[in-house]
Chains A and B, each alone.
Chain A
Amino acid sequence: MKTRPNGSTDASDAAKAADLLVTVASTLNERLAVTADELARSQALLREASEELMTAFRGAADRIVAAQRGASAASEKSDEYGIVLDHLYRACQHLQSHDLVNQLIDAQKLRVDKMREKLAQALALAAPPVVRPDQAEPWIERSRAMLDCIVAGIQQIDQDARAPLGDKHRAGSVDLF
């Protein structure tokens, strides 16, 4: 900040900068709250849909297995039941992707929550009234403390948020020890 002959102008600029930082942090925090809510809703919808699908697949498969037992092993119908059952098993297999997606959403939720926590801490720093508001230094110190908090939030964003790799080449692999 340039040194000006009038100290109160410096203080006014510094106060405006601190206020701007508060606006940015609180707007970002609000947007992240919306994101957190949308992630939670996505997860709930995914869970509900996959449970319903699994129940439906299982119901259909149970019926087919029962019908297959009723049909003679060599009949055309029995072959047909077997093919339908294979399709259902394959569908069930792909339905497992919900588990991976669920874990990816969990990792994103954790990132968002941790960032929101740091933004809330930064905003809390701006809550108490500034001592000596007619001077620039207290405003600059406040802005610096808020920025440090936000930067710390960005730096720790990946800590503990361990998303599964979902390596397609290893999907379905088996290792017996």
Chain B
Amino acid sequence: MKTILAVDDSATMREMVTFVLESAGYRVIEAEDGAQGLDRASAQNVDLVITDQNMPNMDGLTLVRSLRELRDYKSVPILLLTTESSDSMKSQGRAAGATGWLVKPFDPATLLEVVQKVLR
């Protein structure tokens, strides 16, 4: 079973992502911000990271950069799931090493399609 790390400071958003992914058979672990996400990812290897951008302590882009510095996360897919939709932010995400950028509110079916695609 693939393990996915969902990072979002909103408990509702985390629960929503978890709900969608677990119903499709994935195992989900959660983190409340980038710093906690980095701790969780360092403690346990995950197959995919889905992170929000605007969070306290550490934002999504910083989390992406920090994960890419870890040997185990050089090629693990990382998706930004955020309300940010500007092209400049997306460019920053790409430069940081993100695999993709999804703009909230997301369609559960689309999220699952993207997850399946990047985990293939």
Interface residue ranges, A against B (CB under 8 Å): 47, 50-51, 53-55, 57-58, 61, 65, 89, 92-100, 102-103, 164-167, 170-177
Contact = CB atoms under 8 A, between A and B. Distances in A.
Given A65-B23, A89-B108, A95 B16 contact: yes
A176 B103 CA distance: 12
B85 A167 contact: yes
Given A51-B12, A172-B103, A176-B99, A92 B19 contact: yes
B110 A172 contact: yes
Interface of B: 10-13, 15-16, 19-20, 23, 54, 83-86, 90, 93-94, 98-110, 114, 117-118
Contacts of A174: 100-103, 110, 114
Contacts of A96: 13, 16, 104-106
Contacts of B93: 177
A65 B11 CA distance: 23
Contacts of B105: 93-94, 96-97, 99-100, 171-172
Contact of B100 (A47, A94, A99, A177): A177
Contacts of A166: 83, 85
B40 to A, nearest CB: 21
A61 B23 contact: yes
Nearest to B82: A164
A164 B68 CA distance: 26
Contacts of B16: 54, 92, 95-96
Contacts of B117: 176
B103 A171 contact: yes
Nearest to B53: A164
A99 B10 contact: yes
